[in-house]
Amino acid sequence: MSGFAALFSGRRIASASLSFALLSGSAHAEKVRVAIPTASPGSAFFILALQKGYYAEEGLEVEAQVAGGGIAVPGLISGDLQFSLSTGASISAILKGAKLKIVMITQDRPGGQVWGIKPEIKSLTDLKGTQVGIQSRGDTGEIAILSLLKAKGLPKDYLGFTPMGTDVNRLAALKSGALPAVQLSWFGIEELGHVSGAHDVIDLFSEVRMPYAGLVTSDAVLANHPDVLTKMIRGSLKGVAYEKAYRDESIKIIAAYGGLSPSQTAFDFDRVLLSAIPDNIGTAEMQENEVALRADLLDIPKDKVMPASAVYNFTALRKANEDLKGWKPPAP
């Protein structure tokens, strides 16, 4: 059984086409499964679109599951879900042959930092030969650190990664000294006042630029269900518009959805806005640089590196933007 199928229902769905046939049985709404890395402002546009009913307006019934990119990507490949917000983790998978496409990008940098517990670990170079706790292998936290290693001229095996799941688990490992450093979201960092001796080592938000958050889907959805893709993107763009128009109300909705404190949510949400990509596409240069970087990390020969157009497909996004021209979210 695939990990993602187990997370949802405990039953195996054999293929992408069968999965979608089962999910589309309703006469009134087409059901889709979506993985989000966190129930927090990092997934703001999705949470707002879900809670404000924008996906329902588009005729979609969305089932959400919190899962890091390391779990979400296999779920997309197997057809256990149709969309994921983990764009960062998906790029490496595509370069390795996964039949996926990034169809929307909402941010240009990862949220969070790397924190350490040992006083001698003060910077990236001090992590040589150590293990860093992350959410899951292949997720954006790992990719962001690998990107920074490359930018600093350090080998990709300079340090190792230990998947640990939630911030709570990573905080426990840091506090106990089981790991010298862990990557944390803004919410994990908020709890660091309870961990004596903890200190920031790397500010990924400031130092790394990469496509972060958005929507990923499979080639099967692109080819066989373009109407569902367009509806999903339209609903998502409405969520993006709402977060930009109504900060305070957005914070309330996200905090309630994730069971978070308003102050924690506001701190994270404002950083999401700072990293927002205006057109949800970004520059061709950013896309090409990211593909080149991932290919290098994967030891793909330069003459074998696929073009950015094989990783990104914004056709449906451009159509959705045209459909929504002049649309504004109603006031709360």
Contact between 104 and 317 (Cβ < 8 Å) = yes
Phi/psi at 248 (5° precision): -65, -40
Rounded CA-CA distance 328/25 in Å is 32
The domain limits of the chain are: 3-109+211-323, 113-207
Same topology between domain 3-109+211-323 and domain 113-207: yes
Return the pLDDT at 257. Answer: 95
**What is this structure's pTM?**
0.79
Q: Give the other-Cβ count within 10 Å of 291's Cβ.
A: 23
Specify the range with the lowest mean pLDDT, choosing from 10-14, 82-86, 242-246, 282-286: 10-14
Contact between 214 and 136 (Cβ < 8 Å) = no
User: What is the rounded average pLDDT of the residues 104-120?
Assistant: 92
Comparing CA positions, the residue from 101, 98, 36 lying closest to residue 65 is: 36
CATH class of 113-207: alpha beta
**Is a pLDDT exceeding 70 seen at residue 299?**
yes
Contact between 68 and 136 (Cβ < 8 Å) = yes
Comparing CA positions, the residue from 107, 76, 117, 109 lying closest to residue 240 is: 107
CATH class of 3-109+211-323: alpha beta
Direct distance between the N- and C-terminal alpha carbons of the chain, in angstroms, rounded to an integer? 43
**Is a pLDDT exceeding 70 seen at residue 11?**
no
**Is a pLDDT exceeding 50 seen at residue 41?**
yes
For 189-218, write each residue's pLDDT tens digit.
Answer: 877 777 788 999 999 999 988 888 899 999
Return the pLDDT at 195. Answer: 77
